[in-house]
Structure 1
């Protein structure tokens, strides 16, 4: 079987496994079902191999094994009803098998009796786990927003207890399987460790929800029409107050409210100095890694008098963009806003909110984001009242949004944050392993003073990588941006798009040629004389800053990557292209059957296509297509795309 299949266009089903092409896992398997899958399959294997009854019992064993496998497949596809039915059948068959053994007068040795008991308990606990998971999926959000937090916490505790028992029972079964030499591999022995990580997550989550004290959590509304490195400009946000597992208040605010009551004088990152003297929460999502951006936003908000005078601290943040709001409205149906004489639906939500913010009556009285204060509580209520079919549809759509980084979550709690990163929903930048053999690319846009023009920008990325026999890899990158908002009525769509591009490549990469790079005049200020302080995270980013005068390009280093930076200003109806040639930071290993890996990480909210062309060294072809050049393209890449190809040496 080949290790890669070229897919163009990409499959709509993100769960489809494509050898060689990997994307991040669906986050809706929120209790790490993947750890349970092996456990269930292994249990069926154990039942089928350990117990050998007379012929009348054989059919029951086959049924147990088959139902365990069906349950595993159903959980993998998040088909909870089917999984529950299969696990119920397992319990029924186990009890039937036990009855048959008694009727047949079978005398079981002690080890088999113990294994039988453990297997039966495992089936019961797995069934309880599936029931709890299905109940949470159906009712969890409604309990949260409907003042029934005690039910939510109770169900999470039940889930946690069932998982704890699964760890103990699976460990006992694995020990027995090893004694009987049933061929359980190391992967089976690691299942217990995976489940223990899940227990740590559940303990932390329950510990956060359960206290009677109020907990505060942020929802950051990121506007991808005005892109920023972590997603989009944070024009507004919601402060969610939770108590005892229940949502008791939703306070939607304009981001300028807390910034207006912030006494700190912090030096902004260099490109932001083109539009602002002082750094604040509104511009704090400057980092491509969402956890770093979210932490920075929280730092600014907590120091604003709005929250500092009340000693309010935030446990974390979730970022959502407009595509996610559209999906919610598609599931809930339209919402009527009487005081605005508007009906908001999935088709007009961006247009109408943008118009109210820029030109509505609320702006005249100093509350341009008031419409969001009215809309947000209605959305929460509508979600809580969805029927079962609506919840399933919405869960599927939001799962896709997580995959595409349209929704990202950050928690201060390290156990929860680690779990979110394992799920691939934390918006983190990938750490490249020390033995990484390949290349990495992320193209990160920052609209600075270009209004809402990213809504009408079409971006195309073309990367050609030419690998020589000595392992030197020359990268030729072209980033094309077309502004097609020239005919729009609204001025905020047909302004010039002022984009500061950051191009993340492997650490140690060196520029050899550039065309199309632009500069932007930024007033120089003596910030220290003005009493401003430097931010530690910005210092970490800019301490490596250097201007490569020969090419008119900036160079920095962060997150184990080299970053090339340049302005690209595109007028309405025009097109701009930035071209860079650079040598990868580490030589490629060149030999027969060596795997070369290309990784692309997409910016949240960006609309871009990607085309990659890999040229093998002289004397080699790519095993996947038998040719010296391998081409791959995709119109809408996932949050993280991993492309693996294999060098094959030609015969002399």
Structure 2
């Protein structure tokens, strides 16, 4: 879907650099990430050095997964000096359906417990680190017989927010009798490919063909945009990158390092000295993320009984929806990430399943250089639930507090729209640090 649009946009930026040089140059001080990439890494991704074959992942963030969203559709495009020489798109269910019977991979335990007993390409992005999820996606793609698997150099993930942004510039687009706008495309397209195709007698494997029609028209209209609009487009894309709706991985370590440097990689970062992140995985909860609201309270305090420094994180979910064809109870396996050396003390609010209210076990381990603490939670439509995790701070974080150098890095999950954060950090008499605001991008406190 929008993966095609994204590549079309990249190609237009690369090919039109000379035509729109004034607009791009003007945007340099206003849009550092995208402007820097336009002058640096994008020409490489467009195949100006050598042909590039890119795996495009459509990350549906109305069904959030750790790596940015459920992989509902994908595409493979080859670019040679900015020219698309081959292009293929499909729904992931078609690729997974052809998986060899001998290729059976056991999924991570939460997927096995709450979703499916066999791991496929569509569920490959279980890691919150986009590079790790991309590597796993490439592994499944090749094993399942994906087209041009051996040639793929790059993985690009995009959420619906990207195409919504582009439609604000192109205007409404009519495809197969329906008019798609920036405001309705996510919901209308979801209904078209999930419900309407049945009523119209369209074959299931052809239900997403409308995506190509929309993409072609967006690329055509983008080609004719006035050069005066490019500075604002670049600023919007800079925001989409910062909010992790556009993410890129490359097999070449040098290019991967460049992507990380300009903030495109979606990698997990350690933070200084303290770190907090939570990662949801919508498991069989339809497209309920579109109606979910989240707020977090992050507390730091010295425990009166043990005299040790602790953190308490309270995550409140509010399910604002009601039961319908795309909304249900919210089932999520959620992982909380803290610096390595953090010790789990207590967790509250987990549930074995919507049928079994008994507390689910908490899984504690080390992952991606962090302490990971996870469990399963259920939030019924029209209700709110609060999950609480209490930990003993890692030794290096305690040392920072005692030296008066405490800092907190908050990392937002890929593909999400953010959450309200309240910090309540009590370091003793007259040393209380409180803050409340929205987290839509990674933030260092």
> Do the structures match in fold with TM over 0.5?
yes
For 1:245 and 1:423, the matched residues in 2 are separated by 21
Cα deviation, 1:389-419, whole Å, max 9, x if unaligned, reads 2222221111111111111111111111101
> Does 1:287 pair with 2:89?
no
* Bigger strand fraction: 2
Tell me if the contact between 1:143 and 1:246 (Cα under 8 Å) persists in the aligned partners.
no
Alignment TM-score, normalising by the size of structure 2: 0.84
Q: Distance in 1 between matches of 2:10 and 2:393?
A: 52
- Could you list the per-position Cα deviations for residues 549-571 of structure 1 after superposition, in whole angstroms to 9, with x for gaps in the alignment? 99831112111111111111111
2:162 equivalent to 1:324: yes
Give yes or no for contact 2:57–2:155 (8 Å, CA) kept in 1.
Answer: yes
| 1:306 Cα deviation from its structure 2 partner | 3.9
* Counterpart Cα distance in 2 of 1:206 and 1:289: 21
SS at match of 2:240: helix
> How far apart, in 2, do the equivalents of 1:464 and 1:498 lie?
26
How far apart, in 2, do the equivalents of 1:208 and 1:471 lie? Answer: 58
Counterpart contact for 2:131–2:267, Cα < 8 Å:
yes
**Residue 235 of structure 2 corresponds to residue 396 of structure 1:** yes
Query: Which residue does 2:331 correspond to in 1?
Result: 498
Q: Is contact 2:424-2:435 (8 Å) kept? A: yes
* Structure showing greater Rg: 1
Q: Is the 8 A contact 1:505 1:561 kept in 2?
A: yes
1:414 maps to which residue?
A: 253
Counterpart position of 1:484: 320
- Summarize deviations over 1:140-162 as a string: whole Å, max 9, x none: 9779359x96x879x99xxxxxx
1:298 aligns with 2:138: yes
Tell me, yes or no, if the aligned pair for 1:145 and 1:247 is still in contact at 8 Å: no
Higher relative contact order (CA 8 A, sep 6+): 2
Identify the match of residue 281 of structure 2 among 429, 446, 450. 446
Q: Which residue of 1 aligns with 2:352?
A: 519
Q: Which residue of 1 aligns with 2:394?
A: 585
CA distance in structure 2 between the aligned counterparts of 1:610 and 1:318, rounded to whole angstroms: 29
| Cα distance in 1 between the residues matched to 2:93 and 2:179 | 27
Match of 1:641 in 2: 443
Q: What is the Cα deviation at residue 429 of structure 1?
A: 0.5
1:163-217 deviation line (CA, Å, top 9, x unaligned): xxxxxxxxxxxxxxxxxxxxxxxxxxxxxxxxxx99x966992895343xx5321
- Displacement of 1:590 after TM fit? 6.2
Deviation by residue 1:341-376 (Cα, 9 ceiling, x = unmatched)? 111110110111110121012674113322222222
Deviation at 1:431, TM superposition (A): 3.0
Q: CA deviation at 1:255?
A: 1.0
Match of 1:570 in 2: 379
Alpha-carbon separation, structure 1, partners of 2:127 and 2:9: 34
Alignment of 1:540-555 (within 5 A): 552-555=361-364
Alignment of 1:121-132 (within 5 A): none
Instruction: For residue 453 of structure 1, report the CA deviation from its aligned partner.
Output: 0.5
How do residues 189-338 of structure 1 correspond to structure 2 at under 5 angstroms? 205=44, 208-211=47-50, 215-263=52-100, 264-273=103-112, 274-307=114-147, 312-337=150-175
Contact kept, 8 Å, 1:253 with 1:373, in 2: the verdict is no
Verify the 8 A CA contact 1:517 1:578 in the aligned structure 2: yes
**How many pairs were matched up?**
414
1:386 aligned partner: 225
Return closer, same or farther for 1:240/1:385 CA change in 2, 3 Å cut-off: farther
- What is residue 4 of structure 2 aligned with on the other side? none
Quick one: distance in 1 between partners of 2:52 and 2:181? 31
Alpha-carbon separation, structure 1, partners of 2:243 and 2:10:
28
Q: 1:502 to 1:142 in 2, by over 3 A?
A: closer
Tell me, in whole angstroms, the C-alpha distance in 1 between the residues paired with 2:264 and 2:360: 37
Checking the alignment, whether the CA contact within 8 Å between 2:349 and 2:359 is kept in structure 1 is no
Structure number with the higher helix fraction is 1
Deviations along 1:624-645, one digit per CA (max 9) or x if unpaired, are xxx321101112x1431100xx
Q: Aligned to 1:628, which of 426, 431, 438?
A: 431
Q: Give the direction of change, closer, same or farther, for the CA distance of 1:203–1:220 in structure 2 (3 Å limit).
A: closer
* TM-score, structure 1 as length reference: 0.59
- Name the residue aligned to 1:136: none
Where do 4+ consecutive residues of structure 1 move more than 4 Å?
140-143, 200-204, 467-471, 590-593
Cα deviation digits, residues 253-276 of structure 1 (max 9, x gap):
101122222222111111111222
Provide the C-alpha distance between the structure 2 equivalents of 1:580 and 1:142, rounded to a whole number of angstroms.
43
Corresponding residue number in structure 1 for 2:291:
456
Instruction: Work out the CA distance in 1 between the residues paired with 2:91 and 2:173.
Output: 21
Residue 247 of structure 1: how far off its partner (Å): 1.8
Aligned residues of 2:342 and 2:392 also touching (Cα < 8 A)? yes
- Report the 3-state secondary structure (helix = DSSP H, G, I; strand = E; otherwise coil) of the residue aligned with 2:444: strand
> CA offsets per residue over residues 309-353 of structure 1, 9 Å max, x none?
x5642111111111221111001111111x2x1111101101111
Q: 1:326 to 1:576 in 2, by over 3 A?
A: same
2:404 pairs with 594, 597, 610, which one?
594
What 5-or-longer segments of structure 2 have no aligned partner?
A: 1-6, 22-35
For residues 586-618 of structure 1, the C-alpha deviation after alignment (integer angstroms, 9 at most, x for no partner) is 252268873211011000222421111110135
Cα gap change, 1:384 to 1:479, in 2 (>3 Å): same
Within-5 A mapping of 1:554-565: 554-565=363-374
Give the Cα–Cα distance (whole angstroms) in 2 for the partners of residues 431 and 590 of structure 1.
Answer: 15
Q: Conserved in 2, the CA contact under 8 Å of 1:251 and 1:373?
A: no
User: RMSD in angstroms over aligned alpha carbons?
Assistant: 3.3
- Distance in 1 (CA, whole Å) between partners of 2:108 and 2:47 is 34
